[in-house]
Structure 1
Amino acid sequence: MKHLSILILVVAFLQGCATTYQSSGFSGGYSETQLDENVFKVTFRGNGYTSRERASDFTLLRSAELTLQSGYKYFAVIDANSYTSNSTYTTPTTSNTTANVYGSGNYAYGNATTTTYGGQTYNISKPSSSNTIVCFKEKPENVLSYNAEFIYKNITQKYGIQPAAN
């Protein structure tokens, strides 16, 4: 039972370490490049604790936010990419030896115990997602488009993000 409690605490802590919705920084975040008056490339880069779903959602959220900030109501994704960079990390190895020696006459007796710590290898996956979007003032016909206000509202609620003050 004790091990289960510790495992639950570790999992809860690690989930809290996923990249937050923020401008790109050391631990990841979103960035964008304006390609035309109403065209943007939006990217979200997560850290090793971020799920692919979260990276994809935050790319959509930033797309919706840019659409609204630019005075548009709808956006269409004309190109989308998601990818994951994989790496490994092996913890350093440390050994500690404890010995006991005693003597009797011309003889010495003893024992030694060596304990080794570390050496675990962890796989780290960092997801990224990017969308190239076109923004529209009116809902385009015959084009799969997203209502920016709807996307913004739903994703901020899903992740408990406080809406930005406009």
Structure 2
Amino acid sequence: MKRSITIAAAWLFLSACSTTPSVYAPAEDGRYGYSEQRLEDNRYRVSYSGNSATSREEVEDYLLYRASELTLQNGYDHFVITSRDTEPRTSYYGNGSPYAGWPPGYGFYGYGGSGFGWGLSTSTSRPVTRYRAYADIVLHRGEKPEGNDWAYDARDVMNQLGPRIVHQVEK
């Protein structure tokens, strides 16, 4: 009985701990962070994957920041997004036993008899959503064209978003 209470308390404590949002860094081992793939000389596919504590807006900001950084690193001034999407990936994490409840009750569950018991519901689960944003971009030199809502000035984007970008701390 004490063990069951201890396990339940530990689970509640751990579930209350919050994860910190992912930081702006290259994705390692296919995990969280940014990545890009060169498609042509001036065309890239850029993506950013966040963890469960990274909001959709943060993921999209990090994507735009990386696209701007990539544009300037390659000697260009602005980029045009040709396609863009943000995908939510939701997983469900449950607690408890797949059987009569957790901790198990007393009785004859599964054998046609009756009994009594206590426990947490076995059907509880919590959704955990992670976002992944990607965009295909074309890099250009000179001023961005007026009236094109898909064109971004790389320096301006970095200046506007820079204060909100959380960079990885060097170890």
1:65-84 to 2 correspondences below 5 Å = 65-84=69-88
Q: CA deviation at 1:114?
A: 6.4
Deviation by residue 1:4-57 (Cα, 9 ceiling, x = unmatched): xxxxxx5xx63x522211111364111100111111100111122221111111
2:137 is matched with which residue?
133
Structure 2 unaligned regions, length at least 5: 1-15, 106-115
Give secondary structure in 2 for the equivalent of 1:30: strand
Supply the distance in 1 between the matched residues of 2:47 and 2:121 (Cα, whole angstroms): 36
Q: 1:146 aligns with which of 152, 156, 159?
A: 152
Aligned residues: 137
Deviation by residue 1:99-136 (Cα, 9 ceiling, x = unmatched): xxxxxxxxxxxxxx966358541101111111111111
Supply the distance in 2 between the matched residues of 1:158 and 1:17 (Cα, whole angstroms): 15
Q: CA deviation at 1:86?
A: 1.5
Q: Compare 153-162 and 46-55 and name the one that shifted more.
A: 153-162
1:46-61 to 2 correspondences below 5 Å = 46-61=50-65
2:4 is matched with which residue?
none
Instruction: Report sequence identity in percent.
Output: 24
Give secondary structure in 1 for the equivalent of 2:163: helix
Supply the distance in 2 between the matched residues of 1:115 and 1:20 (Cα, whole angstroms): 43
Q: Is the 8 A contact 2:86 2:132 kept in 1?
A: yes
2:23 is matched with which residue?
20
Q: Is the 8 A contact 2:62 2:165 kept in 1?
A: no
TM-score by length of 2: 0.68
Q: CA deviation at 1:156?
A: 1.9
Deviation by residue 1:81-114 (Cα, 9 ceiling, x = unmatched): 11111120102344288xxxxxxxxxxxxxxx96
TM-score by length of 1: 0.70
Q: Which amino acid aligns with 2:103?
A: S
Q: Which amino acid aligns with 1:64?
A: S
Supply the distance in 2 between the matched residues of 1:28 and 1:123 (Cα, whole angstroms): 19
**Larger Rg: 1 or 2?**
1
Matched, 1:157 2:163: yes
Q: Which amino acid aligns with 1:146?
A: Y
